[in-house]
Amino acid sequence: MTDLSFLLQSMAWPLVLLLAWYLGERLHELASLPRVCSYVAVGLVASLVNLPGLTDAVPGLPFLANVALSLILFELGYRIHLRWFRHNPWVLALGLGESVVTFCAVYLVTGFFSLTTDTRLIIAALSVSASPAGIVRVANELRSAGQVTERVLHLCAINCLVAVLALKLVVGYWHLATSGDLVMAAFGSVHVLATSVAVGALLGVAIPALLRSQRIEERDATLVFALAVVLLTTMAYGLKLSPLLAALTFGIVARERRVHLTNAQRGFGTAGDLMTLFLFVYIAALLEWSDLHHGVWLGLALIAVRTSSKVLCNVAAARLSGSTERKGLLTGLALTPMSAYAILLLEQSRLYGFEPAHQILTVLAFMMLLQELFGPLVTQRALQAARETHVTRE
């Protein structure tokens, strides 16, 4: 029996990933569904049947998930044009303003439910974020390019930065309220933020300099960047920093250093596809089905408020930022996904000693389920409606 149990645990991940890949390809071909939606569905079903060894028996899975998301965040940062913010500061103002509006709106709405102040603040901070995993992979899948796509990517990056900042400040506030230790509170917020950005920026300068000195081919540069992201994630874990914030900063700075990735290696090629497949299955498997009946009305309210705030802000600022109301509507809708990034932020906080993290994931389980399953589909439809996709059905 012990040998059989070990065999099932050993086979769990390969079988689940193979099944997720197969369904993703078939449903994408037959119904044009984003592949990541199928990955999430398989992870949820695997969690439902309590497949042995899916999330607990294999050590290092959280680290591997952070590497997968860090690769995507690096790519997102690499696609950010800082000069665009200087030429059109309204885009930056829109991203910051929309983040503040979303935070305040979600915090106010959660006041109608029986939640503590700490819980409301954390939910508001997480709701600011958009999922780079869902948005970037859908955009790559559609080979999407255009004004709406670029705005979605830039606003997603701003949302992620503000969400990390807000969450770290809330965690620092929690440490201060529970222990009264001001030093610990500062360490959990300002220190982590500043050091994560500094480490990411340092690699963003060092790696391009290394590539130029060695005259490495563009295809090989992708491998070097991938190894650098793994190194960055390892350093962040060892120093208790934010690997997600560091990876995003790494990508932004590397882009400014003028080292280019080839289009063929966008998404880090086959290795990136495998890591993305694992990431979405793993994130879905973290959700407990026993928790889904909790917070149904809360989840529906949060989705409605979060989506409305993003759409209304983008529509209201469309003309000021050089766009149209229709494109503002599509941009706001395309920012719907949020779950993968938010769940890993909570997991990191839990590993670093933030005790309420597991409880908050339980409260948000129903919201995360809907966001994971349908968020990428909304992004896909919004980009298609903007007529910025460059794929056709074969």
Max avg pLDDT among 4-13, 214-223, 335-344:
335-344
What CATH number has the domain spanning 58-385? 1.20.1530.20
pLDDT in tens, 213-237: 777 666 677 888 889 999 999 998 8
The pLDDT mean for the chain works out to 85
Tokens 């599509």 sit at which residue?
330
* Least confident span in 177-186, 278-287, 338-347, 374-383: 177-186
Per-residue pLDDT at 57:
57
Counting residues of the chain whose pLDDT is more than 70, the rounded percentage is 87
Question: Phi, psi at residue 159, to the nearest 5°?
Answer: -55, -45
Per-residue pLDDT at 15:
87
Per-residue pLDDT at 264:
44
Residues 6+ apart with CB under 8 A from 46: 12, 16, 54, 281, 284, 285
pLDDT exceeds 80 at position 167: yes
Per-residue pLDDT at 8:
63
Tell me the HSE value of 26 on the side-chain side, using a 13 A CA sphere: 6
- Count of CB atoms situated within 10 Å of the CB of 202: 16
Across the range 244-257, mean pLDDT stands at 89
Tokens 């989506």 sit at which residue?
307
Question: Phi, psi at residue 96, to the nearest 5°?
Answer: -70, -45
- Count of CB atoms situated within 10 Å of the CB of 194: 11
Contact 271, 220 (CB under 8 A): no
Contact 353, 146 (CB under 8 A): no
Q: Residues in the chain, how many?
A: 394
Per-residue confidence at 394, pLDDT binned at 50, 70, 90? very low
Single out the residue of 122, 69, 102 nearest to residue 359, CA to CA.
Answer: 122
Single out the residue of 125, 383, 45, 49 nearest to residue 37, CA to CA.
Answer: 45
For residue 141, give Cα distances in angstroms to 76, 134, 145, 254.
14, 11, 11, 23
Per-residue confidence at 1, pLDDT binned at 50, 70, 90? very low
For residue 8, give Cα distances in angstroms to 3, 278, 283.
9, 18, 20
Max avg pLDDT among 64-68, 184-188, 363-367:
64-68
pTM, 2 dp: 0.91
Per-residue pLDDT at 289:
76
CA distance 99 to 97: 5
Residues 6+ apart with CB under 8 A from 263: none
CA distance 182 to 168: 14
- Between residues 265 and 75, the one the model is more confident about: 75
CB < 8 Å & 24+ apart, contacts of 24-31: 24/277, 28/141
Residues 6+ apart with CB under 8 A from 26: none
Per-residue confidence at 351, pLDDT binned at 50, 70, 90? confident
Per-residue confidence at 333, pLDDT binned at 50, 70, 90? very high
- Between residues 394 and 49, the one the model is more confident about: 49
Q: Is 116 left (phi over 0), alpha (psi -120 to 50) or beta?
A: beta
CA distance 76 to 78: 5
pLDDT exceeds 50 at position 131: yes
Per-residue pLDDT at 260:
60
pLDDT in tens, 287-299: 877 777 777 899 9
pLDDT exceeds 60 at position 111: yes
pLDDT in tens, 172-204: 777 677 766 666 666 656 778 888 999 999 999
Across the range 247-259, mean pLDDT stands at 85
Per-residue pLDDT at 184:
60
